[in-house]
Amino acid sequence: MNRPALTLFTEGGSAARAARSRACRAAPAPARIPRASASPPALAAAALAVLAFAAPASAGDGPKGEVLVYSASGATSAALPLIGALERGWPGRAVVVEEWKSLDDLRGLVLSGKGDVWVGHLEAFGRAASKGAKVTLLSVTAWKKFYFVSGPFRGPAGGGSGEPGSREDPSGPAGSAEFWPRSPGELAELLSAERLPLYAAPQSGPSTGILSRIAQMGGPSFDARALPMQQVLLELASGRARAALVPEPGASAALARNPALRIVGSLEEEHARLAGGPARLPHAGVAADPAFASEHPGLARELQELMAESGKAFTAMPPSEAAGHLPKGLRDGMGEKVLADSLSRDPIGSVNASDAVPEIASFLCLAAAELCSGGKLDPSFPPGFIYR
């Protein structure tokens, strides 16, 4: 008997567009697949073993009543807990996974109510909710994403160690040396001295708002220019951009494409240095249509539980093993080493939104200041944004 393939996520390209109409069908009872010791091939075999051939149960917005999930083809730590939940058998019925193309696209999907579950940026969800979209945040799944990436600067030759990332590397022309900044603050000074911008991606992302707050708290001040991710990566690869602030896996991809680049700090650590608290920010997570969550509360709670379990299981794995659970198209496109390097800097974990309310509110005020007044979320902000 021919069995349908288990496809967790789709990627860009014509083959992916054709595949997006296919559903991944699971048995009515959610499968429990061991995570700590199982390899990806074993997981795939176990998942195939529980596939069913009956008509899918009607549950969501999919073409035939399947649960409809939207994610981003380049998502890594933000999507891995959901990938783990799907590997473990959630939602126990047919599910279709589509991709969104940009933050504007994501907001449009949420505003139009298209989909049952979304993986995406918290400020995109927050902005959509403030405009009347029906969306409730289940879990936060991405906490440390943004890194300052810099090429070398030139200065007088000196007694630097010459080690990668050191203050000086006497590899430049006679009488000069290449050196890399040792902190975001030093990077800001060097860029300012040469009247160069700091490129920031993605274009509609949270980084510029967080940079503004860092400057207000007495931290480094940058001339930040927001551009689309692919444009920033091309500028870094070619050497036309001296420095940028990019989220993982973009930072690791930039380093792989241009060996002259170095990481000189993280946005989350720089914010924590000034504001106090842990060096993490709730950048992205998994949200649901409130109607779907209220009609299927068992599925919503189970998704939260399975994502938390999966996050812990992925954290316990070597980054190279965790990267093996990402979609094949992403692994083929970026390279498994790049993804493993990225996950070594990008912690995996899923926290229920109701357990991170102060951090979520603070982050929305950083990343989408128009949602706040006096440093707090506006009283009119929908209270149902957090799933409880």
Give the tokens for residue 182. Answer: 């040792």
pLDDT digits (tens, 9 = 90+) for 243-268: 999 999 999 999 999 999 999 999 99
Gap between the Cα atoms of 104 and 120, Å rounded: 11
Type of residue found at 182:
R
Residue that the structure tokens 């274009």 belong to: 203
Gap between the Cα atoms of 362 and 367, Å rounded: 9
The pLDDT of residue 111 is 94
Chain mean position to CA 140:
10
Long-range CB contact pairs, 212-215, < 8 A, 24+ = 213/271, 213/366, 214/270, 214/271, 214/274
- Segment (H or E) for 111: helix 103-112
- Can you spell out the DSSP letters for 124-191? HHHHHHHTT---EEEEEEE---EEEEE--EEEE-------TTSS-BTTSSTTEEEE--SSHHHHHHHH
pLDDT digits (tens, 9 = 90+) for 119-178: 999 999 999 999 999 999 999 999 999 999 999 998 754 333 334 444 444 444 444 589
- Can you spell out the DSSP letters for 231-282? HHHHHHHHT--SEEEEETTHHHHHHHH-TT-EEEEEHHHHHHHHH-S-S---
Topology match between the domains 14-143+282-385 and 147-275: yes
Gap between the Cα atoms of 51 and 84, Å rounded: 16
Give the tokens for residue 69. Answer: 């999930």
The pLDDT of residue 174 is 46
For the chain, the first-to-last Cα distance in angstroms comes to 43
Domain regions of the chain by residue span = 14-143+282-385, 147-275
Chain mean position to CA 134:
22
The pLDDT of residue 257 is 95
CA angle, residues 324, 326, 331, in degrees to nearest 5: 75
The dihedrals phi and psi of 127, each to the nearest 5 degrees, come to -65, -40
- To the question of domain 14-143+282-385 being in CATH 3.30.70.330, the answer is no
Q: How far apart, in Å, are the Cα atoms of 132 and each of 23, 112, 128?
A: 30, 10, 7
Which residues of the chain are under the pLDDT cut of 50?
A: 1-57, 157-175
Tell me the fold of 147-275.
D-Maltodextrin-Binding Protein; domain 2 (3.40.190)
Tell me the pairing of strands 95-99 and 262-266.
Answer: unpaired
The pLDDT of residue 58 is 54
The pLDDT of residue 45 is 32
The pLDDT of residue 176 is 56
